[in-house]
Chains A and B, each alone.
Chain A
Amino acid sequence: EPEVTQTPSHQVTQMGQEVILRCVPISNHLYFYWYRQILGQKVEFLVSFYNNEISEKSEIFDDQFSVERPDGSNFTLKIRSTKLEDSAMYFCASKLAVTNYGYTFGSGTRLTVV
């Protein structure tokens, strides 16, 4: 069964450093997403991406965040200057069509900012 692959599974970084979280969505999917879950909190929407541009972003997704689909297979989330409060589990998701049900999520990257 096709999977969304996220790497690394766990990343530790120093405050102020840049991090790039990587995702390989399912190959024929067209819609891409990042969500995050701070420990003990809700899973929250960050950003959606379609046709090589951001469709929607949340209040969390400020100027420190950016997304890119550099090569037609990877979908990356960059945090320019990490803060302690960026520590969370980050989930990538993709879906084929605009219908609401077909999300496939990756297993997540746990980011720890120290």
Chain B
Amino acid sequence: GDSVTQMEGPVTLSEEAFLTINCTYTATGYPSLFWYVQYPGEGLQLLLKATKADDKGSNKGFEATYRKETTSFHLEKGSVQVSDSAVYFCARIMNRDDKIIFGKGTRLHILP
């Protein structure tokens, strides 16, 4: 069935390291793709989105490109900060649908 698969965590990096969190999806059609972030004690916040193939979403130094050919939407950041420590969720919505399908989430720890 339709799903979102993201890399298992936790991911632990040193400050200023390069970050990649992999995400792939399955869907019958062309979904809109999202990354959500949950900081400790807070709700799910939309980090970035892409609505069609080859779109690049970006926010706060994070980027992800909608790759139709590989059905992927990997999250990247060139230089992470301690404040980026959070749980990151990859997600998709089909345009005919109204509910979000989430991945399991990847916990990111950034060490000073």
Contact = CB atoms under 8 A, between A and B. Distances in A.
B31 to A, nearest CB: 9
A10 B59 CA distance: 31
A45 B100 contact: yes
Interface residues of B, number: 23
B20 interface: no
Contacts of B44: 43, 91, 93, 103, 105
B73 interface: no
Interface stretch (A34-42, A71-79, A80-88): A34-42
A48 B98 contact: yes
A100 B43 contact: no
Contacts of A58: 99
Interface of A: 3-4, 6, 31, 33, 35, 37, 40-45, 48, 55-56, 58, 91, 93, 98, 100-101, 103-108
A55 B103 CA distance: 23
Residue among A4, A42, A104 with most chain B CB within 10 A: A42
Given A101-B46, A108-B43, A44 B102 contact: yes
A49 to B, nearest CB: 11
